[in-house]
Amino acid sequence: MSELENIRGQVRTCTKCDLCKTRTNAVPGEGPLDAQIMFVGEAPGREEDRKGRPFVGAAGKKLTEVLEKAGFSRDHVYITNVVKCRPPGNRVPSDAEQAMCKTYLESEIRNINPKIICVMGNTASNSILGQGEITKNHGKIVDRDGVRYFLTFHPAATIYNQELLATLIEDIKVLADIVVKL
């Protein structure tokens, strides 16, 4: 078994924080081991909790649409979240929950070793880079501890906002141009 499969198994049975008590399914990241890009969201929603797969609800449809418009195939990228179990009512995961779950994201990053990590939305940006303000910082690259990150909006924020959707698509096109040069 690959180490990534091992991690996925650990996530599915994890009881490190209280979110394990209310989840239906834990949601490990998914995508090929040789993915060049990793996309990181906040936490599973209702649909993800039901299916045990990331970004398969309304936000996931947007993400898939945006990826395709920028020339990526969803099957070729790695998709995951800061926190792997659904917070009740889709509240923002607490600092303690984020801290508990962090080792899984770190293991995913180590194993996939992507060229760049696309951090989507304020929660992921705060958790991973200690900075929010996505409205100001979207489209930027941040290098931290030998890992390269790209900041953009969370696809859920674009569901009822066509203008933001257009901006997200532009950002992901910029990201696509960056990746071919890496």
Query: Is 64 in a helix, a strand, or coil?
Result: helix
Nearer to ligand URA, 127 or 167 (CB): 127
**What are the counts of helices (DSSP H) followed by strands (DSSP E) for the chain?**
8, 5
**Residue 83 in contact with ligand SF4, rule: CB under 6 A:** yes
Secondary structure (3-state) at 65: helix
**Binding span for ligand URA by CB under 6 A among 56-64, 104-112, 141-149, 166-174:** 56-64
- φ, ψ (nearest 5 deg) of residue 90: 60, 30
Question: Can you read off the two tokens belonging to residue 22?
Answer: 């209310």
Q: Which is nearer to ligand URA, 80 or 143 (CB)?
A: 80
Cα-based distances in Å from 144 to 73, 141, 150: 27, 10, 11
- The site map against ligand URA for 103-142 (x = CB under 6 A) is ----------------------------------------
Nearer to ligand URA, 12 or 182 (CB): 12
For residue 85, state whether it binds ligand SF4 (rule: CB under 6 A). Answer: yes
Asked if residues 161 and 61 have their Cβ atoms less than 8 Å apart, the reply is no
For the chain, state the CA radius of gyration: 15
93 binds ligand URA (CB under 6 A): no
Per this entry, what is the length of the chain? 182
Residues that bind ligand URA (CB under 6 A): 41-45, 48, 54-55, 57, 59-60, 81, 156
Residues that bind ligand SF4 (CB under 6 A): 11, 14-17, 19-20, 26, 83-85, 97, 100-101
